[in-house]
Structure 1
Amino acid sequence: MAKLVSSWYNDVKIFPENYIFPLESRPGNITVPLASSIPVIDLSEANRTNTIQKILKAGEEFGFFQVINHGVSENSVNKAMKVFKEFFKMQAEDKESLYSEDNSKICRVYTSTASYATEEFHRWRDNLRHQCHPLEQYQIFWPEKPIRYQEYVRECSIEVKQLASRILELISEGLGIRSGYFDGELSESLLLSVNHYPPCPEPSLTWGASKHCDPGLITILIQDEIYGLQVLKNGEWIGVKPIANAFVVNVGYQLQIISNGKLKSVLHQVVANSSHARTSAAFFLQPLEDGIVEPAKALTHASNPPIYKSFKYKEFLSYYLSKNGDPEVALEPFKAT
């Protein structure tokens, strides 16, 4: 049987046992409220200082915010989302030709998580993942189908990369770090992760994506109109309401480390939907593998010593993947003694 959920979900007669999470860790039938409290920040606001303060406050209190009037054209986003959805509607053999469980592959399709072969319970999700930047290095590995995929994703990824760099520059200014701190090896990698969650006959038994934090600097997420994303705030899960023409931005572990704990990478998860497919596109801005990550020296002093060590990003990523992103232990080896 094909591994991709999108290739076989329509044929399900009995819900597969290896997708049923233990009672204590499954979503259940608990209703999570859609929150109006998650900050929505207008990046076209004339008062730059005010915008920076809003971003920092959101990063400290939520680890998540949404941005509107962000400068990425609606047309670019719509075209990219169109080909993402078309990709997962293709014939099984076309999608499966890119299937790989090798995490080192530049472009691949897989299902559930990067640890499918060893995980006990599978998530109700397919994923298309590839590097986006530098384009001239990676675009040759992208899918050739749908026919406009490379054209549309190239256009969108360029604009998203510019937005991510702009947000990081605002953050560096707000933290009091030098301008351009995040340029170069700290933000040279842009990884695209397209998540597709087919309609699920038993969404109370399984996860689209179970709770985790993102390993990189920041994540720029394009949601479609179907709700699914939830964020942990003060010990309670709240739903992130999709807003038209908005991006969800969240703090990754590396930004938490560089800010010496001032900005927080918070747990989030995705629930499945019984009647609608959901597709989202996450752009992970992250350091190069040999990039050095450490608390910014401008933020540490005798009364505020470094919380974390200095390390190469590949060291963190290797450990993170070996622990399946387990948020209980992901940061432990990188804390200062």
Structure 2
Amino acid sequence: MENLLSSAASHDTLPDTFVFPADQRPPASTAAVDIPVIDLSLPRDEVRRAVLDAGKALGFFQVVNHGVPEDAMRGMDAACEAFFRLPAEAKAGFFSEDPARPNRLFSSTVYGAGGERYWRDCLRLACGAFPVDDATRTAWPDKPHGIREAVERFLVPTRALGTDLLRLLCEGMGLRGDHFAGDLSGGDVVVNVNHYPPCPDPARTLGLPPHCDRNLITLLRQGGGVPGLQVAHAGGGGGDWIQVEPVPGAFVVNFGHQLEIATNGVLKSVEHRAVPDAARPRTSVATFILPTEECLVRPAEELVDAKEGPRYRAVTFREFMRVYKAVGARRESVEKAFRI
């Protein structure tokens, strides 16, 4: 708990444990690469094509006019920012370094053999029941006042948005509209509220290391208009990092490894990372839609070429997570573990 970054009044110097080697923190490219912004209020055929094209091209896109009420988004932002402003003693009861706990507050994480840590605090919340039940609510923090209600008002329509995006992808790829329903998207919905305090030397550290998401689909609300999300982009031939500029009211959408396996590689799980800011705090909210633990994830038959066969082996989500944690979250390692 003493290492919680958000409990310090300020940070004058960057501790050595947060310093990454230069080859692990290449700067973002200055190339002008725009992440597509898709208006979901347009005709469905047009939206379907745009979502699939953006997913194939970059693996990341932003959506606006998505149906999540603005007051729900603003309420979530305000509640989460207020949570991290609480004094340390008010957050202490929720702090845990046990990764098996579905609801907890933690700070940083050891990354790689060198023991470097990254510059963020995280409030992780899980929701397995919709409509949200009392057991779920009471497992969430009760401070600041109203945070449980704010999380529920945000989470329910955000999950619905993710479900609709999955249906659009199905329609675009020629799958049944409910192909991703059931166990493939029926696990806990997990929310990571990532808080990146102002950093005294952001050029020498990272907020999150390069990684690919483990889940099916991710919806990220970038908070406060402060940029920090960067996406790997091979379009220039050098594997550049490009910065995703916040768009007011938008969600950033990206795909996890489960969607890549389930679509036989038609859609990719793309590496991304986060960087802190020298002067401004940043609080973002990532909503992850996951399979159930025993769900067998395998390529859809409709997307498997009869001659080439599947590109990925079938795997339960539980087994996937065991391997994912063992090899690390980098794309190359996970690809090697599950590619046929």
Q: Map of 1:5-44 to 2, 5 A cutoff?
A: 5-8=5-8, 10=10, 12-27=11-26, 30=27, 32-33=29-30, 35=32, 37-44=34-41
- Verify: 1:92 aligned to 2:88, yes or no: yes
- Verify: 1:168 aligned to 2:166, yes or no: yes
In 2: Cα distance, 1:264 partner to 1:176 partner: 17
Please say if residues 123 and 207 of structure 1, whose CA atoms lie closer than 8 Å, have aligned partners that are also in contact. yes
Residue in 2 aligned with 1:211? 210
- Verify: 1:226 aligned to 2:226, yes or no: yes
Alpha-carbon deviation of 1:126?
Answer: 0.4
Q: Secondary structure at the match of 1:216?
A: coil
Residue in 2 aligned with 1:83? 79
Alpha-carbon deviation of 1:103?
Answer: 1.3
In 1: Cα distance, 2:93 partner to 2:330 partner: 30
The aligned length equals 331
Residue in 1 aligned with 2:268? 264
Alpha-carbon deviation of 1:332?
Answer: 2.3
Alpha-carbon deviation of 1:108?
Answer: 0.6
Please say if residues 228 and 274 of structure 2, whose CA atoms lie closer than 8 Å, have aligned partners that are also in contact. yes
1:88-111 Cα offsets, whole Å, 9 max, x none, are: 100012223211121110201111
1:179 paired residue among 164, 170, 177:
177
Structure 2 length-normalised TM: 0.93
Please say if residues 34 and 239 of structure 1, whose CA atoms lie closer than 8 Å, have aligned partners that are also in contact. no
1:308 paired residue among 308, 312, 323:
312
2:333 paired residue among 305, 329, 335:
329
Residue in 2 aligned with 1:61? 57
Alpha-carbon deviation of 1:35?
Answer: 4.7
1:291 paired residue among 295, 309, 319:
295
Please say if residues 258 and 294 of structure 1, whose CA atoms lie closer than 8 Å, have aligned partners that are also in contact. yes
Q: CA RMSD in A?
A: 1.8
Q: Secondary structure at the match of 2:68?
A: coil
- Verify: 1:4 aligned to 2:4, yes or no: yes
Please say if residues 209 and 271 of structure 1, whose CA atoms lie closer than 8 Å, have aligned partners that are also in contact. yes
Moved >4 Å (runs of 4+): 115-119
- Verify: 1:121 aligned to 2:111, yes or no: no
Matching residue's letter, 1:184 = G
Matching residue's letter, 1:18 = T
Question: 1:89 and 1:117, CA in 2 relative to 1: closer, same or farther beyond 3 A?
Answer: farther
2:142 paired residue among 141, 144, 167:
144
Please say if residues 35 and 241 of structure 1, whose CA atoms lie closer than 8 Å, have aligned partners that are also in contact. no
Question: 1:119 and 1:191, CA in 2 relative to 1: closer, same or farther beyond 3 A?
Answer: farther
In 1: Cα distance, 2:33 partner to 2:243 partner: 9
Please say if residues 13 and 201 of structure 2, whose CA atoms lie closer than 8 Å, have aligned partners that are also in contact. no
Alpha-carbon deviation of 1:331?
Answer: 2.9
Identity of counterpart residues, as a percentage? 39
Please say if residues 198 and 277 of structure 1, whose CA atoms lie closer than 8 Å, have aligned partners that are also in contact. yes
Structure 1 length-normalised TM: 0.93
